[in-house]
Amino acid sequence: MTEYPKLNKLYNEIVRCYRCGFCRASCPIFESERVESWNARGRILLLRALSDNDVKVTDSFIDRIYSCSLCKECEIFCPPGVNVSGIIEVARQELVDKDLAPPEEQKELKKNILQIGNVLGKKAEPLESLLGPIIKNLPESSPNLIYSGCVTLYSYPKMAHTTLEILRNAGYDYTVLKEGEQCCGGFLKMIGYKNDFDYYSLKQLDLLNQRGIDQITTICPMCYSTFKHDYPPKEIEIKHTVNLYTELLDQGKIKFSNPLNAKIVFHDSCHLGRYSGLFEEPRKLIENVPGTKLVELSNSKKSSKCCGGTIRVPYARIRSKMSEQIIEDASQVGADYLVTACPSCFHNLYSTSILMDCNVKIITLEELIGYTTKQLEKIPLYK
């Protein structure tokens, strides 16, 4: 009989699920697959059966447990408030400990983080080669560090460059890790490599403490959530760029002057919204852009739909369905622009073929602010 001690410790939490089925209406994976074992209730039942040794771990079982995007939407609607994402994370740790998981493609992502320093497996480069001469003019040290994240730096460096320009023109004192960034490591924890994450985060935190940093501001919401909630206790304050932009706007250090006569929806990413509770700050920023009309998606704020970014590898087909639903929603409410403050959400939404059939344009909050503060001559149109 196989023992699952970590899972067994959560048995009382597992049996709190009384199978009401409310999660069926909120689980984006179930909406794609339409099979009970692909939603929160089904996964909890599978893990209860695993703990009771009534089911074996097969490839199909792994797919059910690893296709969960840990978006937490089911937890918003769960009457007894079962900690579904926490149970799934512990189950993944158990499966990793027994060398039964994760899927092979995600094992490669682990190697990328631990051996190369970023989840994409891109060759590490100094930030000047990625972002240009703006890096050379930054101070060698500052109490304030701007942290871009893997997806931003290696897939959409213009987002990071725009952010740095906005802050420079606002007179904000900051620097970056000029020699190059290391991944925050949050994905390690999500896929079950908790021991690797604990070691990795301690090492990263030690390097950051050596630089005398008082505050880290991240562009990526997952980096924000990971540094703020998952790293060991620290003296460093963690912010997301929406916090910093809002502060600078209130202080009159950035001015939104370029008008944009458009109807805009904001997509709440899971790690900025449900994980961290930053719902109003990005909306305040959008509403201050002259000429804009902020409208809400039919599923927004706490009930916002996940784009599927955390399961893009290896479940790209499901990810695409999840992102398409968000764009369809934006189109139905008549939005001209869908704005996101998450580079990963941007990547997944921008990658969908459905954009060819609607008039919605996908942009980042950085690009909107860059335009209205006149750092950008025009908003890039992603169609």
Instruction: Say which CATH number the domain at 92 has.
Output: 1.10.1060.10
pLDDT recorded at residue 99: 96
My answer on whether 129 and 202 are in the same domain is: yes
CB 202 within 8 A of CB 182: no
Helical axes 40-51 vs 84-97, angle rounded to 10° = 40
Alpha carbon distances (Å) from 261 to 88, 291, 365: 44, 4, 16
Q: How far apart are CA 383 and CA 360, in angstroms?
A: 8
Give yes or no: residues 164 and 264 share one domain.
no
Reduced 3-state DSSP string for the chain: CCCCHHHHHCHHHHCCCCCCCHHHHCCHHHHHHCCHHHCHHHHHHHHHHHHCCCCCCCHHHHHHHHCCCCCCHHHHHCCCCCCHHHHHHHHHHHHHHCCCCCCHHHHHHHHHHHHHCCCCCCCCCCHHHHHCCCCCCCCCCCCEEEECCHHHHHHCHHHHHHHHHHHHHCCCCCECCCCCCCCCCHHHHHCCCHHHHHHHHHHHHHHHHHCCCCEEEECCHHHHHHHHHHCCCCCCEEEEHHHHHHHHHHCCCCCCCCCCCCEEEEECCCCCCCCCCCCHHHHHHHHCCCCCEEECCCCCHHHCCCCCHHHCCCCHHHHHHHHHHHHHHHHHCCCCEEEECCHHHHHHHHCCHHHHHCCCEEEEHHHHHHHHCCCCCCCCCCC
Residues 153 and 111 in one domain: yes
pLDDT at 381 (0 to 100): 56
Residues 259 and 186 in one domain: no
Query: 240 near 305, Cβ under 8 Å?
Result: no
Q: Is 382 part of a structural domain of the chain?
A: no
Q: Which residue, 247, 279, 311, sits at the end of a domain? A: 247
Q: What are the C-alpha distances in Å from 12 to residues 9, 77, 168?
A: 8, 20, 52
3-state secondary structure 200-267: HHHHHHHHHHHCCCCEEEECCHHHHHHHHHHCCCCCCEEEEHHHHHHHHHHCCCCCCCCCCCCEEEEE
Instruction: Give the whole-angstrom CA distance, residue 347 versus residue 366.
Output: 14
Interatomic CA distance for residues 9 and 271, integer angstroms: 26
- The CATH number of the domain holding residue 231 is 3.40.50
For position 234, what pLDDT does the model report? Answer: 86
Q: Cβ distance 300 to 270 under 8 Å? A: no
Domain boundary (247, 280, 299) is at 247
Question: Quick one: 124 exposed, middle or buried, by C-beta within 10 A (0-12, 13-18, 19+)?
Answer: middle
What is the CB neighbour count within 10 angstroms for residue 21? 11
119 occurs within a structural domain = yes
Residue 330, in any domain of the structure: yes
Taking the C-alpha atoms of residue 263 and residue 102, their distance in angstroms, rounded to an integer, is 42
Q: Are residues 115 and 46 in the same domain?
A: no
Structural domain span for residue 190: 105-247
Please indicate, yes or no, whether residues 131 and 79 belong to a single structural domain of this protein: no
Across the beta sheet with 293-295, the strand order is 293-295, 263-267, 337-340, 361-364
- Residue of 345, 338, 344, 341 whose CA lies nearest to 366: 341
Same domain, 62 and 111: no
Q: Answer yes or no: do 147 and 264 share one domain.
A: no
What does the pLDDT look like over 157-186, one tens digit per residue?
Answer: 999 999 999 999 999 999 999 999 999 999
188-217: per-residue pLDDT in tens?
999 999 999 999 999 999 999 999 999 999
Regarding whether 109 and 209 lie in a shared domain, the answer is yes
Q: State residue 353's pLDDT score.
A: 77
Task: For residues 36 and 121, give the distance between their C-alpha atoms in angstroms, rounded to a whole number.
Answer: 35
Same domain flag for 117 and 174: yes
Alpha-carbon distance of 17 to 57, in angstroms, equals: 21
Domain count, the chain: 3
pLDDT along the chain (383 residues), means of 10: 89 94 90 92 96 95 97 95 97 97 97 96 94 95 97 95 96 97 97 98 94 96 98 94 98 96 97 98 98 97 96 96 95 96 96 82 96 89 47
